[in-house]
Amino acid sequence: MNISLCFPDKLEELVLHISAMSEHDGRFGSTKLNKLVWAADFQAFCETGRTITGASYQKGQYGPIPRAMPIVLNRLKEEGRLALKSVKMGTKSGIRPIANPGIRPDLTAFSQRDLGTVDKVIAENFGKTGTAMSTDTHKRLAYKVAKNGETIPFAAWLISARRPTEQQKKHGQTLAAKNARKS
């Protein structure tokens, strides 16, 4: 399987942007980075039908991970654009991505809407742990049925296992009746 992305540069630049914006978040680490990228991509997908990065995501132990993330982090580290520092996060140790302050991410490939979505996701989750951010993804059916390492199609994240409300059932019955009359 080809694990490169359609837009690897977008993922790289977004990693640098999120890392720089999260510099003062004491709970920011590589797990939270994955969750912030996913959350921004998911929000964009729900609003526009497309993701920001073009990344495919695989199921990881702590949530969805952009499939190319290990390659991206390694490349950014080798280029001196990002440092990966071992840190203590509560009772666990982790890796903290630190953007090189002398190198600014190239954000020209992103629309203002995309950057607004990313910045909103960062702000909403500032100070939260990666574990706290896991609540949403771990409840989703797509995450529950996937095996670790398996790619989860983005549209699958929209599938819900909850029962429809009475209003939703009535709406569905109305649509079905309209469709039956057209046939």
- Residue in the block written with tokens 């009772």: 91
Distance CA 139, CA 133 (A): 11
pTM: 0.83
Top pLDDT among 104 and 90 is at: 104
Distance CA 61, CA 14 (A): 22
Mean pLDDT is lowest, of 9-18, 26-35, 150-159, for 150-159
pLDDT bucket at 155, cuts 50 / 70 / 90: confident
Q: Mean of the pLDDT values across residues 46-70? A: 93
Three-point CA angle 127, 153, 38, nearest 5°: 15
| pLDDT given for residue 23 in this prediction | 94
Distance CA 140, CA 161 (A): 8
| pLDDT given for residue 153 in this prediction | 87
Q: Provide the CA 78 distance to its chain's centre, in angstroms.
A: 24
Distance CA 102, CA 99 (A): 9
Q: Mean of the pLDDT values across residues 138-155? A: 88
- Looking at every residue in the chain, the average pLDDT score rounds to 89
Asked if pLDDT for residue 132 goes beyond 50, the answer is yes
What are the angstrom distances between the C-alpha of 140 and each of 59, 99, 103, 122, 181? Answer: 12, 31, 37, 21, 35
Asked if pLDDT for residue 4 goes beyond 70, the answer is no
